[in-house]
Amino acid sequence: MERPGLGQHLGTALRQELALQPRMLQSIEALQLPVAELDAWLRSAAEENAALRLEERPASEGATAPARSRAARAQATERHDEMLRNQPERAKGLVDCIEEQLVLLEVGAAALAWVRFLVGQLDEAGYLSAGEEELLARADEQGLAGGEESLVEALGVLRSLEPRGLGARNAIEALVLQLDESDPDYALLRALLEDFLEDVARNKLPRVARALGLELDELDQLIERLRAFNPRPAAELAGTTAPVLVPDVVVERAPAGGAPPGEGDLGAFQVRVDLSDLPAVSLDEDVAALARDRDQPREVREYLRQRLDRARWVVEAVHQRGRTLTRVAAAVFRHQRSFLEDGPGHLRPLRMGDVADALDLHVSTVSRAVAGKHVQTPWGVFPLRHFFQAATGGGESAAGGGSARSDVREQVRSEFEAEDPARPLSDDEVVERLAARGLRLARRTVAKYRNELGIPSSYRRRRYGPSA
C-alpha cells in the first residue's frame, strides 16, 4: 500500500520571467539619474572602458540645434541667468567664519589654540554639549596646557564671536547669550527665556504678562524681539554647501518662427532635454579600428569588441534617456499648459499613470524619468515631480478636472494668513469659507494642510489685545 503524502507526481507549470539584459540595465540606470549624477556615471564608465569616448561640449553648443542665431544665444544667456537666480546661496563654513574673526583679535598663541579646540567640539547647532571635565580631558589628550583657567578664557572669546550664541550648552542658553546686557529690557527678556518660555509656547500670555507686571502689548513687543534670535546659531554655518539645482529639462517659449517639429513641440512652447552640462558620448574610433584590424591577435580583437559593445550600450542608454525624458516632460506640460501660460496656482491634477497610458509606457518608466529631475520653466526652476498633483475637491480625478493638491493647500494658507489675529479662524470656519468659493474640503483635510504649512491651532495663534 502506498503511504499517503509520499507519492510522486509529474506536472507542468507555466511561468513568465523577465531577464534584464546588461543593455536594458544600462538604460534603466541612465534614465533614473539626474544630470549631475549622470555626468559622474559617464566619467566613471569612461575610466573603466577605453572604448567609450567623452568630449566636453563647447560653451556655445545647445541641447538641440547645432547652429544658433544671435537672438537664440541671447535667450540662452537669459535662461542661464534665470537658472543662476534660482540656485540656493552657498553657505560659508563655521570654521571659516570664526577664523576670519580670530585674525582680527589680539589673542596669544596659547589662547588661540584653546579657542580652536573649542570650535572643534561644537556640534552642528553650535552647542558645547560636553561637560567641563570632559572638555578638560580632551584638551589634555591634545596637549593643551592651562587647565580650567584657559578653558574659561577661551570660552569667553568663543562666546564673543559671531554668530552670537556659540558655545552654549542648549537652545535657551544660546538665546540668552544673544541678549545685550546693556539693554533696558535685558532682565525681562532673560526671564522670558529662562522662566516663561513654556507658557509663551502654549500662548498663555495673560498669565505671563501678570507675572512680569506688563501690559499684553508690551509683552507682545518683547516676544517679537525674541523671534529675531536664533536658537541654533551655527545651523546656517555648518560647513555644508547647498546643492546646485541643475535643470535636466528646459521649457521655453518657442522662437518667432515657431517651435521645430518633434516630440517636444507644444506650439507656443517647446520642451527639450538640456545636455549642455554633460559631455558628448561616442565610441572611440581608434579602439573600433583595432577591433577590425586582422593583424591583431584574435583574443585582442574579441576583447576590444566586448569593450565596444559595452560602450555602445552606454551611448544608446544616454540617447534613450533623452528621448524618454523629452516625451514624458512634453506630456506633462501639454497637460499643465495653464501653468506655463499663467504661472503657479494654475496646476491641474495629474497622475503618473495618466502619462504612462498616454505614452504607452510602464508607470515605473515614468517614475524613473521624473525621479530627481528639475525643470526650468518661464516661472523658475521646479522639481519635475511637482507637476504631478493629486486631485482634490469632490474627489474628482485628473481626467475629470478638480484642483491640484498644492494649489488647494495654497488657498488654505491664504485663508489663515488673512484672518484677524485677535480672532483666528478655526478649521471649520476655513472649510465654510472655501466652500463659499466652490472648493469643498473636509475639516480633517484642512487640518492636515494647516499642519503641513506649520500653522498652529487657533488657540495658539490668538494675539491678545490690551483689553484681553
- Identify any residues that bridge with 253 across adjacent strands, giving them in sequence order: 269
Q: Which of 131, 154, 171 is the last residue of a domain?
A: 171
Is residue 271 assigned to a domain? yes
Q: How many CB atoms lie within 10 A of CB 3?
A: 6
Same domain, 280 and 380: yes
Domain match, 338 and 434 both: no
CATH number at residue 398: 1.10.10.60
Task: Give the per-residue pLDDT at 118.
Answer: 92
Per-residue pLDDT reduced to its tens digit, 53-62: 998 876 544 4
What is the SS3 assignment for 195?
Answer: helix
* Residues 79 and 376 sit within 8 Å (Cβ to Cβ): yes
Are residues 287 and 410 both part of a single domain? no
d(CA 206, CA 189): 16
Whether residue 184 is contained in a domain is answered as no
Could you tell me the CATH number of the domain that includes residue 143? 1.10.10
Quote the pLDDT of residue 249. 92
Q: Is the pLDDT of residue 142 over 70?
A: yes
pLDDT reported for residue 176: 92
Domain closes at, from 113, 141, 171: 171
d(CA 191, CA 197): 9
In the chain, the number of structural domains is 3
Tell me, what's the pLDDT at 77? 47
Owning domain of residue 166: 93-171
pLDDT tens digit sequence for 280-329: 999 999 989 998 988 889 998 899 999 999 999 999 999 999 999 999 99
List the alpha helices (DSSP H) in 213-297. 216-226, 285-292
Residue 423 lies in a domain: yes
Res 453 pLDDT > 70: yes
Report helix, strand or coil for 315: helix
Q: Do 442 and 427 meet the contact criterion of CB atoms below 8 Å apart?
A: no
